[in-house]
C-alpha cells in the first residue's frame, strides 16, 4: 500500500478525497490545501495525500525522485510511460479499495491529481469498476487517450479540469486535448483556465471548493 499523509474529517468520516501530487513532490506538498478549502464539517471529508514511489526519471538525468511514472521525453505523445501509469494506477486503486472497505461509498470518493498525479487520476477513474463522485485533474494531460474508449468501464463521470494559460511545464493545449477527448467520450467535464504557470491559484481553489461541495452534497 502506498504511504500517505492525511487530514482527518471533522466529526464522522463520510467522504474521502485522494489527492495525487506532481513530479518530485510528495503528499506533504498539497496537505496545507485541505484546511484552506474549509469544506463544511457536515460533509465529513477526510483528505488522503499519497506519496508516489521513488524512481529514476529520465528527463532529469536519471535522478531518483518521487514520480508516478518515468518521463522519457518532453513530447506530449511520449511523455507518460504507459506501463508506469498503469502500475501507479493499480496502487492508487488499492487506496480507493481501502476506503470502500472502510464503508465509504464510491459516490463519496473523489480522486484528484496535479500534473503527473492528474494523469493517474484521469487514467484510473474511467477504468474503475465503481463510479466515483468525481475526478479533479489540475494542470495535466492524458496517457494513451486513444485507448480510453476501449478500456473505459464508466460511461458517466464528473470531471473538473483546470489549467494555467502560461504553464511552461504542461502547455495548456495538452490539457485542452484531454478535455476534448473526455467530452467526446461523453463525460461531464468542466474546464477552467487561469493566468498562471504550473501551479494552483486562489481563484482556482474557490472553484475547487464549490465543485467539491456540489459533488459531495448530492
Catalytic residue check, 51 = no
Question: From residue 122, how far is each of 62, 64, 103, 113 by CA, in Å?
Answer: 26, 25, 24, 8
Burial of 30 (0-12, 13-18, 19+ CB in 10 A): buried
Catalytic residue among 13, 51, 193, 198: 198
Q: Which three cell numbers stand for residue 104?
A: 465509504
HSE (side-chain half, CA atoms, 13 Å) at 121: 34
Residue 91's CB is within 10 A of a number of other CB atoms, namely: 16
Q: Which residues pair with 48 in a beta bridge?
A: 6, 18
Catalytic residue among 25, 70, 81, 167: 167
Catalytic residue among 115, 123, 139, 163: 115
Catalytic residue check, 87 = no
Catalytic residue check, 89 = no
DSSP readout, 103-155? T--GGGEEEEEETHHHHHHHHHGGGSSS--SEEEEES---SSGGGHHHH-S-S
Report phi then psi at 25, rounded to 5.
Answer: -95, -170
Which residues are the active-site residues?
Answer: 115, 167, 198
Amino acid at each position: 500500500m502506498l504511504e500517505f499523509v492525511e487530514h482527518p474529517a471533522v466529526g464522522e468520516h463520510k467522504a474521502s478525497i485522494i489527492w495525487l501530487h506532481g513530479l518530485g513532490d510528495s503528499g506533504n506538498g498539497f496537505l496545507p490545501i485541505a484546511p484552506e478549502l474549509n469544506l463544511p464539517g457536515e460533509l465529513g471529508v477526510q483528505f488522503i495525500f499519497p506519496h508516489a514511489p521513488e524512481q529514476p526519471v529520465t528527463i532529469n538525468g536519471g535522478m531518483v525522485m518521487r514520480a508516478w511514472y518515468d518521463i522519457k521525453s518532453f513530447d506530449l505523445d511520449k511523455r507518460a510511460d504507459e506501463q508506469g501509469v498503469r502500475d501507479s494506477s493499480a496502487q492508487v486503486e488499492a487506496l480507493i479499495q481501502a476506503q470502500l472497505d472502510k464503508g465509504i461509498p464510491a459516490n463519496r470518493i473523489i480522486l484528484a491529481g496535479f500534473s503527473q498525479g492528474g494523469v493517474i487520476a484521469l487514467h484510473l477513474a474511467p477504468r474503475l469498476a465503481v463510479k466515483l463522485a468525481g475526478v479533479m485533474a489540475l494542470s495535466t494531460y492524458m496517457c494513451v487517450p486513444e485507448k480510453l474508449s476501449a478500456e473505459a468501464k464508466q460511461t458517466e463521470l464528473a470531471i473538473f479540469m483546470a489549467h494555467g494559460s502560461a504553464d511552461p511545464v504542461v502547455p495548456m493545449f495538452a490539457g485542452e486535448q484531454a478535455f476534448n477527448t473526455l467530452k467526446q467520450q461523453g463525460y461531464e467535464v468542466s474546464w477552467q483556465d487561469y493566468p498562471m504557470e504550473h501551479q494552483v491559484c486562489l481563484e482556482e481553489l474557490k472553484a475547487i471548493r464549490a465543485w467539491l461541495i456540489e459533488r459531495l452534497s448530492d
